[in-house]
Amino acid sequence: MTPPSTNKRKSLDAPISGPPIKRRAASGTTKSAVANFFTPTSQKPKERTIWTERAPNDDTPATLLVGRYEPENSSEEPMTARRKIAAFDLDSTLITTSSGKKHATEATDWKWWHSSVPGRLRELYKNEGYRVIILSNQGGIVLHPDPKTKTPKAMSKDRVTAFKQKCNAILNHLDIPVSVYAATGRDLYRKPRLGMWDEACDDYDITGDVDLAQSFFVGDAGGRTAVLKNGENGAVAAAKDFSCSDRNFAHNAGIPFKTPEEFFLDEPPRDFQREFDLADYPWPEEAQATDAVFEKRNDKDIVVFVGPPGAGKSTFFWKHLEPLGYERVNQDTLKSRGKCISAAKEIIEDGRSAAIDNTNADPETRAIWVDLAKQLDVPIRCVWFKTALAVCEHNDTVRALSKTMNPESRTALPRIAFAGFKSRFKEPKIKEGFQDITEVEFKFRGSKEEHAIWAKYWL
């Protein structure tokens, strides 16, 4: 008798599965897209927006994206015919997201900020003789990624493409001659700086010939403070603006400013506040003669500066201490604290006086110089620059972006540099070992021509 098989066999009655069905991926290609692909180029509708890129100088990559729209049947008069400019911010001024998100993630995620916007813009151009332009900070897109950055180039390209597609749709809907300027970097093009305004005036050949009194700028960054407003369902909170950059831009350009609510909805202006107000720092005519003077009290000594970056320390040195024979010791120049200590020691041993032009925010840092003065048997003094951080950031930016006021070719510091000083700062005290402490309140120290550059909003 044959023994039963030990192999397990499936029942002949068990259902047999067929090969797995391959699912077909849903195509994102529409019939219209296919038809457009096979349409001869000569028969395709012409794209009305022409895009170009610009750089702040010949040594840097392009950071300004410019799109210029001309209607198909435009009978545009010579470009110089319109001297009145109606300038607008883009996001949260002309458009908002249709999704309700704070920032759009797709080219189609937009709608007009208010239904009256497109009609009002057409009216400005067709009936009131205005040149309509859009000036927008777009820090979220990069035209030419740094090869060292971790952001994929494809992602940067996609963002640029999406922005162009969105603007193309907006301008096509308006269908009037409009130029859009998008500042993608943190250079002279970024509002409130005037780089985009200057480019627009140059493009339309009206530099120095703009009707400033009739021109205006509309934007949502007006520095407005939080307030309760009466709405349809009772009192509602209106949040404060994220910045005052649009209002400050209009100030720099010398033109009136309005928020979208004021311009499109005729709402009354709200209170606003600037963190740094140029009105507090006019040209100091009398102050030039009565400016604080630092007096030399010892044959040789060490003077330690204390103050944030951009507080005016270096300017104060060149104006007050250098004429008294002091030698400047600066870590930005010498690159290390050890080299600064060696330089100061050499200066004192040569019979001269040294000024330590660094931030020296805390007692621990200042103690290094106090100990050196004891070692060299010379007095040590302190100059404390009591400059508000908002003013320091302004000064640092002006210095970095203005060639005439930047003899040492310094670059702008990141905001963390100022925050870091604030977190470490302790007021200097006589008990630390100083012979005296000179307190210096901020004043603009420079020529009237330099003040004209300084007295713009740069941040």
DSSP string, 41-89: GGGSPPP-EEEEEE-SSTTS---EEEEEE--TT--PPPGGG--EEEEE-
CATH 3.40.50.300 matches 287-454 = yes
Contact 309, 392 (CB under 8 A): yes
pLDDT value, residue 73: 75
Q: Would you say how long the chain is, in residues?
A: 459
pLDDT value, residue 445: 76
pTM, to two decimals: 0.80
DSSP string, 359-408: ---SHHHHHHHHHHHHHHT--EEEEEEE--HHHHHHHHHHHHH-GGG-TT
Tokens standing for 173? Answer: 């809907």
Helix, coil or strand: residue 162: helix
Kindly indicate the confidence band of residue 233, based on its pLDDT and cuts at 50, 70 and 90: low
Contact 438, 384 (CB under 8 A): yes
Question: β-strand 216-218 against 257-258: which pairing, if any?
Answer: parallel
Kindly indicate the confidence band of residue 406, based on its pLDDT and cuts at 50, 70 and 90: confident
- Domain-wise residue ranges, the chain: 49-274, 287-454
Tokens 């040149």, residue located: 131
Digit-coded pLDDT (tens) for 413-431? 999 999 999 999 999 999 9
Write phi, then psi, for 165 (nearest 5 degrees): -60, -40
Whole-angstrom CA distances from 444 to 219, 276, 312, 381, 410 are 30, 14, 9, 24, 19
Kindly indicate the confidence band of residue 162, based on its pLDDT and cuts at 50, 70 and 90: very high
Q: Do domains 49-274 and 287-454 have the same CATH topology?
A: yes
Q: Which amino acid type is present at position 402? A: S
Kindly indicate the confidence band of residue 408, based on its pLDDT and cuts at 50, 70 and 90: confident
Mean pLDDT of the chain: 87
pLDDT value, residue 25: 38
Whole-angstrom CA distances from 404 to 55, 249, 452 are 20, 21, 12
CATH of the structural domain 49-274, one choice from 3.90.25.10, 3.40.50.300, 3.30.420.10, 3.40.50.1000: 3.40.50.1000
Digit-coded pLDDT (tens) for 303-339? 999 999 999 999 899 989 999 999 999 998 899 999 9
45-54, 78-87, 148-157, 360-369: segment of lowest average pLDDT: 148-157
- Give, for 446, the enclosing helix (H) or strand (E): none
